[in-house]
Amino acid sequence: MSKKVLVAIADGTEELEAVTIIDVLRRAKADVTVASVGAIQITASRGVKLVADAVISDCVGSVYDLIVLPGGMPGAEHLRDSSQFIDMLKEQAESGRFYAAICASPAVALKPHGLLKNKKATCYPSLLSELENAEQANVVIDGNLITSQGPGTALEFSLKLIEMLFDKQKSREVAKAMLVKD
């Protein structure tokens, strides 16, 4: 059965992180919707212009197996400030379905809404001290929350998301086709 994934973006999203997550999950045949919390076209943190598949209001009421927050500033702040998106995330967290964030987003977008409460997590190293249960690792998994550190860990993070949604075998197949070394 196909897995439904929402990747949220905004002006100032880190484009390498966003596109790595989308690309890698689509290689695993996940049904990925790229949703903007602002206008349908965004300008990412290093100026790349991305056109989303949907705006967030189109996604309210749909059920996703995984919701992912790329990092980047001020992208993570825009995700934090979208009440429609945060309501979806809170329901995701409470339902036990997967949610995941990388780089600035765990500290900037999840923490202020209590979405890291009683969870081990990681984020961009300069923000780690802001987390309650910080772990220094490329990827940290605690129940239905998966977090990661930054652009250099985005590929490992995305492959781990495949493993959580599908299995280790599928993750290895995608990694091999992408020439990712173990």
Position among 3, 10, 15, 109 found at the interface with a second copy (CB under 8 A): 15
Asked if 180 touches a second copy (CB under 8 A), the answer is: yes
Asked if 125 touches a second copy (CB under 8 A), the answer is: yes
Q: What is the dihedral of CA 141, 35, 92, 126, to 10 degrees?
A: 40
Provide the minimum distance between the beta carbon of 177 and a second copy in the complex, in angstroms, as a whole number.
8
Q: Tell me if 126 sits within 8 A of 171, measured CB to CB.
A: no
Interacting span for a second copy (CB under 8 A) from 12-20, 62-70, 73-81, 83-91: 12-20
Binding mask 64-103 for a second copy (x = CB under 8 A): ----------------------------------------
| Token code pair at residue 39 | 């206008």
Strand partners, 35: 8, 54
| Token code pair at residue 142 | 């605690």
CA-to-CA distance for 156 and 139, rounded, in angstroms? 8
Provide the minimum distance between the beta carbon of 49 and a second copy in the complex, in angstroms, as a whole number.
4
- The residues near 111 (Cβ < 8 Å, ≥ 6 apart) are 130, 131
Nearer to a second copy, 19 or 107 (CB): 19
CA-to-CA distance for 62 and 106, rounded, in angstroms? 23
Name the catalytic one among 103, 134, 145, 161. 103
Asked if 179 touches a second copy (CB under 8 A), the answer is: yes
Catalytic, 59? Answer no
Provide the minimum distance between the beta carbon of 93 and a second copy in the complex, in angstroms, as a whole number.
26
- Kindly report the number of other CB atoms within 10 A of residue 93's CB atom: 22
Instruction: Tell me the pairing of strands 49-51 and 41-43.
Output: antiparallel
Interacting span for a second copy (CB under 8 A) from 50-58, 61-69, 85-93, 112-120: 50-58
Task: Count the helices and strands in the chain (H runs, E runs).
Answer: 7, 9
Active site residues: 103
Binding site for a second copy (CB under 8 A): 14-16, 19-20, 22-24, 26-27, 32, 34, 41, 46-53, 124-125, 149-153, 155, 175, 178-181
